[in-house]
């Protein structure tokens, strides 16, 4: 019988603080941040909705440009693996840490609330036009690209 194991983590949540990047003595970038994930459930006895928030520490290696975009409150998708380690603190006490080692990080949502609101209004208008039998064909990429007028290309994005 073949032995098989999987260590895979998927998180979608909000950043609890701005990401910080530090460098090892050999110059390798280490970016760290925390992600809050919340689950909701209905209590069977009280019939009330309850919430529980978990804080996950995330470490991303060799992604030095990413910290500029990972700011408190932003929603992110993180894919990676769990890693546990231990160390001795200043008092000599052994401390155990479990963290997510990120392999993929995707920023979710718009650039800001106004951009998200504009995109939502544009999508609502498109759905309304399609529902009314509009003969408008599919939209083109440049028509929906809010960055097109700014001159930003894929080469400007660091990840």
Q: Which residue has the higher pLDDT, 77 or 47?
A: 77
Over residues 1-26, mean pLDDT: 90
- Going by their DSSP bridges, the two strands 29-42 and 49-61 should be labelled as antiparallel
Residue 138, pLDDT above cutoff 50? no
Pairwise CA distance, residues 130 & 138, whole Å: 10
Contact 19, 31 (CB under 8 A): yes
Domains of the chain in sequence order: 9-41+48-107 (2.40.50.140)
Listed in order, strand segments (DSSP E) in the chain are: 9-15, 20-23, 29-42, 49-61, 75-88, 94-107
Residue 14, pLDDT above cutoff 90? yes
What is the model's pLDDT at position 109? Answer: 76
Pairwise CA distance, residues 76 & 56, whole Å: 12
Residues 89-125, buried b or exposed e (16+ Cβ, 10 A)?
eeeeeeeeeebbebeebebeeeeeeeeeeeeeeeeee
What is the model's pLDDT at position 123? Answer: 45
Pairwise CA distance, residues 155 & 125, whole Å: 31
In this prediction the pTM is 0.62
Residue 18, pLDDT above cutoff 50? yes
Provide the token pair at 120: 């939502």
* Mean pLDDT of the chain, nearest integer: 78
Summarised one tens digit per residue, pLDDT across range 55-98 is: 999 999 998 788 889 999 999 999 999 999 999 999 999 999 99
What one-character DSSP code corresponds to residue 158? -
What is the model's pLDDT at position 159? Answer: 46
């Amino acid at each position: 019988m073949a032995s098989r194991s999987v260590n895979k983590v998927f998180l979608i949540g909000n950043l609890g603080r701005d990401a910080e990047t530090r460098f090892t003595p050999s110059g390798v970038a280490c970016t760290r941040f925390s992600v809050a994930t919340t689950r909701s459930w209905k209590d069977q006895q009280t019939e009330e909705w309850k919430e529980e928030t978990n804080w996950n520490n995330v470490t991303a290696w060799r992604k030095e440009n990413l910290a500029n975009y990972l700011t408190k409150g932003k929603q992110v998708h993180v894919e990676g693996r769990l890693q546990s380690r231990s160390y001795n603190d200043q008092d000599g006490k052994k401390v155990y840490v479990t963290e997510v080692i990120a392999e993929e990080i995707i920023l979710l949502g718009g650039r800001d609330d106004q951009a998200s609101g504009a995109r939502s209004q544009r999508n609502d208008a498109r759905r309304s036009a399609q529902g009314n039998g509009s003969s408008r064909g599919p939209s083109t990429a440049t028509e929906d690209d809010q960055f097109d007028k700014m001159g930003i290309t894929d080469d400007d994005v660091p990840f």
